[in-house]
Amino acid sequence: MVSRKLPAKEPVGAKADEKLTANRSRAFKLFAGAVIDMSWQLALVVLLPLVGGYELDKHWHIFPALTIIGAVIAVIGYFLVVRRMYKQYSNRSIDTSIPKGGAK
């Protein structure tokens, strides 16, 4: 006779609650890391061209030409950062489903 192992049972009760809490904790850490990573990148990509264009306009007295160019560069940079972050974090997955017989 061939002996076969039974499939592992889904955790129930307290174990299910622990699993759900651990998954939610991992999801929150991933989200918080993504927000922090994206926020400093967007600050640099948006503020640097805008402030730089404004200051150069003031220095050379050609307002608003370089400010507008800085705004266009900022918009392009914004979309590039968001696209890169989307690609980076869209491949990650965390099971946040509620286990069978688990949390309410």
Rounded CA gap, 44 and 54, in Å?
Answer: 15
| Per-residue confidence band for 16, with pLDDT thresholds at 50, 70 and 90 | confident
SS3 for 2? coil
Bigger pLDDT: 2 or 34?
34
Rounded CA gap, 10 and 26, in Å?
Answer: 20
Rounded CA gap, 37 and 33, in Å?
Answer: 6
pTM: 0.67
Question: Tens digit of pLDDT for each residue in 33-84?
Answer: 989 999 999 999 999 999 999 999 999 999 899 999 999 999 999 999 999 9
Contacts of residue 47, defined as CB under 8 A and 6 or more positions apart, other chains included, come to 74
DSSP 34: H
